[in-house]
Amino acid sequence: MPESAKLNCGDVELDLPVIEGTENEKALDVSQLRRETGLITLDEGYVNTGSTRSAITFLNGEQGILRYRGYAIEDLAQNCDFVEVCYLLIYGDLPNGEQLAEFRSAIHSHTMLHEDMRMFYDGFPRDAHPMAILSSVVSAMSTFYQDALDPANPEHVEICIHRLIAKLPTIAAYSYKKSIGQPFIYPENDLTYCENFLRMMFAVPCEPYEIDPDFVTALNMLLIVHADHEQNCSTSTVRMVGSSNANLFASIAAGVCALWGPLHGGANEAVVNMLTQIMEDDGDVEKYVAMAKDKEHGFRLMGFGHRVYKNFDPRARIIKAACDRLLDKMNIDDPLFHIAQQLEEVALRDEYFVSRKLYPNVDFYSGVIYRAIGIPVPMFTVLFAMGRLPGWIAHWKEMHASKNKRICRPRQVYTGENIREFVELSDR
Ligand code: SDX
């Protein structure tokens, strides 16, 4: 007999089925609740609410576990390249040699932007935030590639996937070149994904550019650890928008906008701004920890805390170790890294953080690596988006393939005015 939960409300008694996932997570299936009882559930911020079944990523927040399609994030970060992880997330298995070569080749044939798309950059102000540029240009892709937008057409979806994965680095690098008034650097398809991005970012036409293998290794790891994270805010946004059968470009552009928020992907930029502020304030870490505990202050320790992880974010561990290695290898003594480590040390022995299980998250150390590579702060969240793209795509595809697919449309509890007699303007 499958497990169930009894709900007694007034004279209604209802058995709610309990469903169980492959990692023994359990959920109450309330899909018949309103029909049987007239009741809905209310869960601000969806803290207790599952939106879907998914086979893509597994998180265990208490144990600090993260797996993509069953593979531990530590193994993937250590052994894969980012394009391989894109394939894993989107198609469900690690590719063999032939599948990976075919996927890489498909991506290589789409790395350039349509020349008319470059004119968008002429219109943006030089100080335009690159996340605004990214969401705008990704959305505009649906105007340039009108030949393949149908979510129900597998061939259309496939070429949209290749175009997005191939073009995001180009779109991102062009936004950086625009901001510094340098000429755009075209992609070079004999380079790897990360090599190509670094060259488009930092090369100039008048001299050779030497790609640093340590930067490539660090960037590859960062993209992999950002690649998916189950039903986070931006992924849920991509699913929500995609559920209306909007095209993939529109859905991804919406995800970029959601990621931009400082409580989500924008936190990596906010962390470095916070660490810089502390450094300029005589490195007074204790002062900022006290501010973060004082509700009146409204200040939060950016890069700390997580809706799911109530233990160390496994990605933060991987990034912090890579940070150590890269700075050591480059012989960089970044004061922000020292301040971040002090902040972590002070916070993790403070009852306020310990009792709320607030640990460093993926955004806490990533900015220090981006700085070492030479990525400017406003571009940090753009790199998060580049990493998260395969996860967004995988969830969009899974949503469309689901036999339960329907448009996402939550209910509400109305708390406004009851009916009122209309009053003519002359009588108000
Ligand atoms: C990402 O969902 C994902 O998976 C996201 C992500 C991904 O890969 O997609 O992991 C990426 O977005 C990581 C999070 C980046 N954001 C930040 O670092 C911003 C700082 N963190 C917080 O704002 C907060 O921790 C959130 C937004 C991450 C989580 O918010 P929740 O789950 O809604 O928790 P909450 O705001 O209800 O906080 C619970 C308590 C509160 O105190 P009390 O009301 O219980 O007294 O903890 C406190 C909060 O005030 N708190 C913090 C804090 N984070 C939570 N206090 C100080 N500093 C913080 N950073």
Nearest CA to ligand 1 atom 5: 232
Pocket of ligand 1 contains residue 305 by CB under 6 Å: yes
Pocket of ligand 1 contains residue 302 by CB under 6 Å: yes
pLDDT of amino acid 52: 97
Pocket of ligand 1 contains residue 259 by CB under 6 Å: no
- CA dihedral angle for residue 141, residue 142, residue 144, residue 148, rounded to 10 degrees: 120
> CA geometry: angle at 384 spanning 139 and 110, to 5°?
50
Tokens at 129, concatenated: 């935030």
pLDDT of amino acid 1: 66
Pocket of ligand 1 contains residue 301 by CB under 6 Å: yes
Give 8's strand partners.
Answer: 13
Reference 395, options 57, 67, 106; nearest CA is 57
> CA geometry: angle at 257 spanning 256 and 262, to 5°?
100
DSSP 189: T
**How far does the centroid of ligand 1 lie from the alpha carbon of residue 304, in Å?**
7
Distances in Å between the alpha carbon of 106 and those of 219, 247, 392, 396?
22, 20, 19, 20
Testing ligand 1's pocket by substitution, the residue of 239, 306, 308 carrying the most ligand atoms inside 8 A of its CB is 306
Give 204's strand partners.
Answer: 207
Q: CA-to-CA distance for 104 and 258, rounded, in angstroms?
A: 28
**How far does the centroid of ligand 1 lie from the alpha carbon of residue 285, in Å?**
19
**How far does the centroid of ligand 1 lie from the alpha carbon of residue 405, in Å?**
30
Nearest CA to ligand 1 atom 40: 356
**How far does the centroid of ligand 1 lie from the alpha carbon of residue 198, in Å?**
31
Give the burial class of 404: count Cβ atoms within 10 A of its Cβ; 0-12 exposed, 13-18 middle, 19 or more buried. exposed
Tokens at 349, concatenated: 């022995």
The enclosing H or E element of 144 equals helix 130-144
Pocket of ligand 1 contains residue 274 by CB under 6 Å: no
C-alpha of 426 from chain center: 52
Reference 253, options 385, 113, 421, 75; nearest CA is 385
Reference 113, options 157, 158, 175, 203; nearest CA is 175
Nearest CA to ligand 1 atom 51: 305
Tokens at 196, concatenated: 């190509």
Tokens at 415, concatenated: 């708390």
Pocket of ligand 1 contains residue 362 by CB under 6 Å: yes
Pocket of ligand 1 contains residue 306 by CB under 6 Å: yes
C-alpha of 126 from chain center: 25
Sheet containing 57-60: which strands, arranged edge to edge? 57-60, 65-68, 71-72
Give 72's strand partners.
Answer: 67
Tokens at 265, concatenated: 């992907």
Tokens at 375, concatenated: 């990525």
Q: CA-to-CA distance for 373 and 213, rounded, in angstroms?
A: 11
| Residue whose token pair is 């790897």 | 192
DSSP helix/strand/coil, 8: strand
Sheet containing 4-9: which strands, arranged edge to edge? 4-9, 12-20, 26-28
C-alpha of 372 from chain center: 21
Residue ranges in the chain modelled with pLDDT below 70:
1
> Which is the catalytic residue, given 228, 306, 313, 334?
306
Has 108 been annotated as catalytic?
A: no
| Other C-beta atoms lying within 10 Å of the C-beta of residue 370 | 22
Has 150 been annotated as catalytic?
A: no
**How far does the centroid of ligand 1 lie from the alpha carbon of residue 121, in Å?**
34
The enclosing H or E element of 20 equals strand 12-20
| Residue whose token pair is 């095209």 | 247
DSSP character string of 296-357:
GG----TTB--SS-SS--HHHHHHHHHHHHHHHHTT---HHHHHHHHHHHHHTTSHHHHHTT
Reference 64, options 50, 53, 52, 74; nearest CA is 74
pLDDT of amino acid 18: 96
pTM (two decimals) = 0.96
Pocket of ligand 1 contains residue 267 by CB under 6 Å: yes
Pocket of ligand 1 contains residue 310 by CB under 6 Å: no
Nearest CA to ligand 1 atom 8: 229
Tokens at 122, concatenated: 């002429």
